[in-house]
Amino acid sequence: MGYTATRMRLTAHEIEFIARKIVKTLVAEEVLEVDAEGPVVEGLAKVVADELAVEDRLNEEVREVLIQHSEEMQRQNITYTEMFNKLKRKMAKEKGIVL
């Protein structure tokens, strides 16, 4: 497989399983017609892994910002989770990332 699933909530195996189920379902329902399912499954799995990686990178950026502002958060009595979610939504919107 040409993709990796590092630091994601889903493993590469799980992503491939989901992609295979999607392709098989679409072929069975005659929504999708393919000569060979393998390359389509691999392509779909790569797209899913890439999209999950985008969110993982955003999460890491948010963590880095929060580390820099941890003292301020303590002074304002804001929980890490609350600020993480708020900042993640803001940064995603600024970057044009759909969550």
**pLDDT, tens digit (0-9, with 9 covering 90-100), for 43-82:** 999 999 999 999 999 999 999 999 999 888 888 898 999 9
What is the model's pTM?
0.69
> What pLDDT shows up at residue 9?
79
Rounded to 5 degrees, what are φ and ψ at 19?
A: -60, -45
The two counts, helices (H) then strands (E), for the chain are 4, 0
Amino acid at 88: K
